[in-house]
Structure 1
Amino acid sequence: MKSNLKSIPLVSIVLPVYNGEKFLAQSIESCLNQTYQNLELIIVYDSSNDNSLEIITSYASKDNRIKIINNVEKKNLPAGLNIGHHIAKGDFVTWTSDDNIFESIAIEEMLKKLCENDIDIVYSDMVIIDHNGEKVRDFVFLDFENIIFRNYIGNCFLYKKEVFERNKGYNENCFLVEDYDFWLRAISHSRFYQLRKKLYCYRKHDTSLTHQIAFDNEKKQIFNESVIKMYDSFSKTLLKKDCLIIREFLTKSLTYQKIPFEWIIENESVINQFKQELSHNINFQNKNVIEKIFLDKIVHLMILDKGVKTNLSKSFYIVKKYGLFLDKKAIKTLIKYSFFKK
């Protein structure tokens, strides 16, 4: 690694594994074959009914940087992450999935940024691949400020171990949104940096947790319950009063539940207060970006509020409230849904 670092810090990669035999070898190799070599790979193995353990032990016999944590009883993902982090000896930590792949320069590039900048967490863009590992498309994340409505950190990141410690770990009651919850809680004490490079391959396939949330009713229920817990915690860190209103706003937005436009108008003062509190945080210094994000969200809510013949009045409200932040796309949308949408 060509760097001006005064020392060569240890990086810990945590890899939870459960029934991951299909893509596991590729995931392990992507961790071990990094250009930055001073790392440890902590594999947290949950009792599986496939050949994952055989694959893990085979790699561990050839590379002493691998540590295996064998859970006698199956844990959920956030519990596995906590176990791995507590074992980790590195000052910098990341984690990955048994079906995804780091680019070979990922750790080097992210560590360089962490050490060159006064930041605590760095994350990058990625490439979507299919079941066979073929590229589907590039995935470039929106600006960080969008994180209030969706997880825009993604799957490729590196952070100082102290971020985990300040957060007191991953919330084991937020299964299926454990990473998103972690980032939202870290906002209050850590600084984020978005690295505009594609350093990770995220695999879309039928057995991934993301797919299961969409098509498995039980997983979807768990996801929805976890979202409520997550946003409840986040809202309370910003607002002592009216936090339940913001929790409802964020939860319904993420879970695609209808929010009547009249509700937005009625709670305008609370939403304004929420935006004001956000602007006091070091990660949300650009007030114009915050306003633009809320403009896009409220325009989207207007579109979803079907069956009501008052789109023109809604558009007037949006123009009055967010006129300074309207772009061509927003203006075209307002015109379309005010005059031509039946």
Structure 2
Amino acid sequence: MTPPLVSIICLCYNHAPFLREALDSVLAQTYPHLEILVVDDKSTDASVQIIKEYITRFPQIKFIKHLENQGNCASFNEGFHLSQGEFFIDFATDDVLHPERVARQVAAFQDLPANYGVVYTDGELIDEQSKSLGFFYARTTQGKLTPAPAEGDVFAQVLGRYFICPPTMMMRRQVLEELNGYDPELAYEDFDFWVRSSRNWQYHFLDQVLCQRRIHPYSLSRKVYQVGDKQLASTVRVIQKAQKLVRTSLEKKAVLTRIKYEARHAYFTANYQEAEELLAILQAEQGLTPVYKVLQVLTQKRVPLQFIRRWYHRWKYGYTAA
């Protein structure tokens, strides 16, 4: 029996300093049945030159070069629609895969029922020089993980909290086909994918460290609450989608928890428009408690209290928030 084909969609945008390490990690996979697609989203650094070096040496790599920047979601969709894999990895080329990554996740899928659509793992965090910053999950001496990973039906969980390290996921093709890929109208993909896919598909956590996620000032995750960044507006749109998918009181409670969290962060980072939208949703859901009524007034009057967030981060984390 032929092992399933796995497609790795490698998404590049100005990743020249990290690109060779990333592509080398893909090519070093012990799993032999791979399809490698590299999509460059109109990089302005030396990324394209480096990719061309690799496709000369490794002609099995398929290369898609954008003439206009399209964003992560549209770039992934293009690679997905040109691919043949039964399973997928969405791989940003500033990250690094462990050699056994694909083999172990495929093996996990083969031991799971067919209604499992995603296998995710722990990940190591690294800096710009590839030095370890620790791991996504903190572990107690008894082996308890924080944040606690979830298994099976995780819909309510993904609504209410953040517990998945995005680059660790392997996805079943049928999931992406059912969703018609990522939503290209959004500025980022993971929250929307989690919400829409977990409504009908099960998730499995594999307790292994199989990739390195690079943390650097230019990564999308570092920009999400910067004023004017489009990711927060996308979060509002995803919450509106989630409202239509909710079926139980537990799920509705999780949506309210998410709305409150995002509204607070939007306000305390001076993203007033998104804060107003989120608080209006909270009001429509009859979740506007006295505290959030006050927050709504502060938002409408544009009262600048961002110093509170900066103070909190200095107190709790030892650094000043952006």
Provide the C-alpha distance between the structure 2 equivalents of 1:151 and 1:66, rounded to a whole number of angstroms. Answer: 33
Q: Report the CA distance between 1:157 and its aligned residue.
A: 1.2
CA contact 2:159–2:254 (8 Å) conserved in 1: no
Provide the C-alpha distance between the structure 2 equivalents of 1:13 and 1:21, rounded to a whole number of angstroms. Answer: 19
Query: Are 1:230 and 2:238 an aligned pair?
Result: yes
Query: Are 1:129 and 2:92 an aligned pair?
Result: no
Query: Are 1:256 and 2:264 an aligned pair?
Result: yes
Provide the C-alpha distance between the structure 1 equivalents of 2:67 and 2:248, rounded to a whole number of angstroms. Answer: 42
CA contact 1:35–1:104 (8 Å) conserved in 2: yes
Q: Report the CA distance between 1:149 and its aligned residue.
A: 2.2
| Aligned-partner SS, 2:148 | coil
Q: Among residues 43, 49, 65, which one is paired with 1:48 in the alignment?
A: 43
Structure 1 partner of 2:30: 35
Q: RMSD between aligned alpha carbons? A: 3.0
Q: Among residues 170, 173, 177, which one is paired with 1:158 in the alignment?
A: 170
| Aligned-partner SS, 2:223 | helix
CA contact 1:232–1:247 (8 Å) conserved in 2: no
Q: Report the CA distance between 1:128 and its aligned residue.
A: 0.8
Structure 2 partner of 1:276: none
Structure 2 partner of 1:113: 108
Structure 1 pair 122–270 and aligned structure 2 pair: CA distance change class (3 A): farther
Structure 1 pair 81–151 and aligned structure 2 pair: CA distance change class (3 A): farther
Q: Report the CA distance between 1:174 and its aligned residue.
A: 2.1
Structure showing the higher helix proportion among its residues: 1
Count of matched residue positions in the alignment of Structure 1 and Structure 2:
260
Query: Are 1:175 and 2:187 an aligned pair?
Result: yes
Query: Are 1:143 and 2:149 an aligned pair?
Result: yes
Structure 1 pair 244–225 and aligned structure 2 pair: CA distance change class (3 A): farther
**Residues 1-342 of structure 1: pairs in structure 2 closer than 5 A:** 6-118=1-113, 119-140=116-137, 141-144=147-150, 145=154, 146-154=157-165, 155-176=167-188, 178-214=189-225, 216-219=226-229, 222-239=230-247, 249-257=257-265
Amino acid at match of 1:218: G
Provide the C-alpha distance between the structure 2 equivalents of 1:114 and 1:120, rounded to a whole number of angstroms. Answer: 8
CA contact 1:20–1:99 (8 Å) conserved in 2: yes
Q: Report the CA distance between 1:23 and its aligned residue.
A: 0.4
Cα distance per residue 1:236-272 (max 9 Å; x no partner): 111499x99975542231453589xxx9xx99x989x
Contiguous gaps of at least 5 residues in structure 1: 1-5, 272-300, 308-342
Q: What percent of counterpart residues are identical?
A: 24
CA contact 1:123–1:157 (8 Å) conserved in 2: yes
Structure 2 partner of 1:328: none
CA contact 1:235–1:246 (8 Å) conserved in 2: no
Higher relative contact order (CA 8 A, sep 6+): 2
Cα distance per residue 1:274-315 (max 9 Å; x no partner): xxxxxxxxxxxxxxxxxxxxxxxxxxx99x99x9xxxxxxxx
Provide the C-alpha distance between the structure 1 equivalents of 2:80 and 2:110, rounded to a whole number of angstroms. Answer: 20
Cα distance per residue 1:211-230 (max 9 Å; x no partner): 2224x3221xx222111110
Amino acid at match of 1:157: M
TM-score normalised to structure 1 length: 0.69
Q: Report the CA distance between 1:143 and its aligned residue.
A: 2.2
Structure 2 partner of 1:283: none
Amino acid at match of 2:240: D
CA contact 1:101–1:202 (8 Å) conserved in 2: yes
TM-score normalised to structure 2 length: 0.73
Structure 2 partner of 1:284: none
| Aligned-partner SS, 1:252 | helix
Provide the C-alpha distance between the structure 1 equivalents of 2:134 and 2:253, rounded to a whole number of angstroms. Answer: 37
Q: Which has the larger radius of gyration?
A: 1
Structure 1 pair 19–186 and aligned structure 2 pair: CA distance change class (3 A): same
Amino acid at match of 1:167: L
Structure 1 pair 152–249 and aligned structure 2 pair: CA distance change class (3 A): closer
Cα distance per residue 1:171-219 (max 9 Å; x no partner): 112213x1111111001221110111111111111111112224x3221
Structure 1 pair 244–149 and aligned structure 2 pair: CA distance change class (3 A): closer
Contiguous gaps of at least 5 residues in structure 2: 138-146, 268-274, 295-322
Amino acid at match of 2:172: K
CA contact 2:7–2:83 (8 Å) conserved in 1: yes
Q: Report the CA distance between 1:100 and its aligned residue.
A: 0.6
